[in-house]
Amino acid sequence: MTTSSVRVRIAPSPTGEPHVGTAYIALFNYLFAKKMGGEFILRIEDTDATRSTPEFEQKVLDSLKWTGLSWAEGPDIGGPYGPYRQSERKETYRPFVDKLVEDGHAFRCFCTPERLELMREGQRARGAPPKYDGLCLHLKAEEVTSRLSAGEPSVVRMKIPTEGSCDFNDGVYGDVSIPWDSVDMQVLLKADGMPTYHMANVVDDHLMKITHVARGEEWLASVPKHILLYRYLGLEPPVFMHLSLMRNADKSKLSKRKNPTSISYYSALGYLPEALMNFLGLFFIQIAEGEELLTMDELAERFDPGNLSKAGAIFDIQKLDWLNGRWLREKLTPDEFIARTFAWASENGRLTEGLKLAQSRIAKLGELPQLTGFMLASEVGLTPASFAGLKTSPAETLQILDTVQVDLEKILEWNVTTIEEELRAISERMGKKLRVVTPPLFVAVSGSTRSLPLFDSMALLGRSVMRQRLKVAAAVVASMVGAAG
Ligand code: GLU
DSSP run (H or E) holding 114: helix 113-126
Q: What's the 259 CA to ligand 1 centre distance in angstroms? A: 22
Ligand 1 atom closest to the Cα of residue 205 is 9
Q: At 454, is the secondary structure helix, strand, or coil?
A: helix
Q: Is residue 82 part of a domain?
A: no
Q: What's the 215 CA to ligand 1 centre distance in angstroms? A: 7
Same domain, residue pair 199 and 321: no
Cis peptide before 439 (omega within 30 of 0): no
Can you give the CATH number for the domain in which 382 is found? 1.10.10.350
Q: How much is the pLDDT for 63?
A: 96
How much is the mean pLDDT over the chain?
93
Q: What's the 44 CA to ligand 1 centre distance in angstroms? A: 9
Q: How much is the pLDDT for 252?
A: 83
pLDDT single digits (tens) 11-53: 999 998 899 999 999 999 999 999 999 999 999 999 998 889 8
Single residue among 222, 243, 264 that ends a domain in this structure: 243
> Contact at 8 Å (CB) between 63 and 23?
yes
Q: Is residue 7 part of a domain?
A: yes
Q: Is residue 81 part of a domain?
A: no
Same domain, residue pair 179 and 219: yes
pTM equals 0.92
Ligand 1 atom closest to the Cα of residue 214 is 8
Same domain, residue pair 453 and 367: yes
Q: How much is the pLDDT for 187?
A: 97
User: Pocket of ligand 1, candidates 201, 226, 227: which has the most ligand atoms within 8 Å of its Cβ, to mutate?
Assistant: 201
Amino acid letter at 409? Answer: E
Same domain, residue pair 477 and 368: yes
Using CA positions, which residue lies closest to atom 3 of ligand 1?
A: 12
Single residue among 212, 243, 274 that ends a domain in this structure: 243
User: Pocket of ligand 1, candidates 219, 225, 239: which has the most ligand atoms within 8 Å of its Cβ, to mutate?
Assistant: 219
Amino acid letter at 80? Answer: P
Same domain, residue pair 109 and 207: yes
pLDDT single digits (tens) 322-348: 999 999 999 999 999 999 999 999 998
Its sign, for the CA torsion 453, 349, 411, 402, is negative
Same domain, residue pair 123 and 18: no
Same domain, residue pair 142 and 263: no
Same domain, residue pair 92 and 129: yes
Q: At 383, is the secondary structure helix, strand, or coil?
A: coil
Using CA positions, which residue lies closest to atom 10 of ligand 1?
A: 12
- CA distance linking residue 191 with residue 202, whole number of Å: 19
Q: What's the 33 CA to ligand 1 centre distance in angstroms? A: 18
Q: Is residue 181 part of a domain?
A: yes
Same domain, residue pair 186 and 311: no
Q: Is residue 473 part of a domain?
A: yes
Ligand 1 atom closest to the Cα of residue 213 is 8
pLDDT single digits (tens) 104-129: 999 999 999 999 999 999 999 999 88
Q: Is residue 80 part of a domain?
A: no
Ligand 1 atom closest to the Cα of residue 215 is 8
- CA distance linking residue 406 with residue 404, whole number of Å: 5
Q: What's the 13 CA to ligand 1 centre distance in angstroms? A: 7
Can you give the CATH number for the domain in which 265 is found? 3.40.50.620
Q: Which of 88-92, 207-211, 265-269, 410-414 bottoms out in mean pLDDT, i.e. has the lowest?
A: 410-414
Q: How much is the pLDDT for 485?
A: 58
- Model confidence at 311: pLDDT above 80: no
R_g of the chain computed on alpha carbons: 26
- Ligand 1 pocket (Cβ < 6 Å) reads 11-13, 45, 201, 215, 219
Same domain, residue pair 221 and 109: yes
Same domain, residue pair 55 and 147: no
Q: Is residue 83 part of a domain?
A: no
Q: What's the 348 CA to ligand 1 centre distance in angstroms? A: 28
- Number of domains, the chain: 3
323 lies in which domain range?
3-74+246-329
What is the CB neighbour count within 10 angstroms for residue 61? Answer: 19
User: Pocket of ligand 1, candidates 42, 170, 215, 225: which has the most ligand atoms within 8 Å of its Cβ, to mutate?
Assistant: 215
Same domain, residue pair 384 and 442: yes
Strands 165-170 and 174-179 turn out to be antiparallel
CA angle 67/73/75 to nearest 5° reads 85
Q: What's the 329 CA to ligand 1 centre distance in angstroms? A: 36
Single residue among 243, 274, 297 that ends a domain in this structure: 243
Q: Is residue 339 part of a domain?
A: no
Catalytic center residues: 256
Using CA positions, which residue lies closest to atom 5 of ligand 1?
A: 11
- Model confidence at 2: pLDDT above 50: no
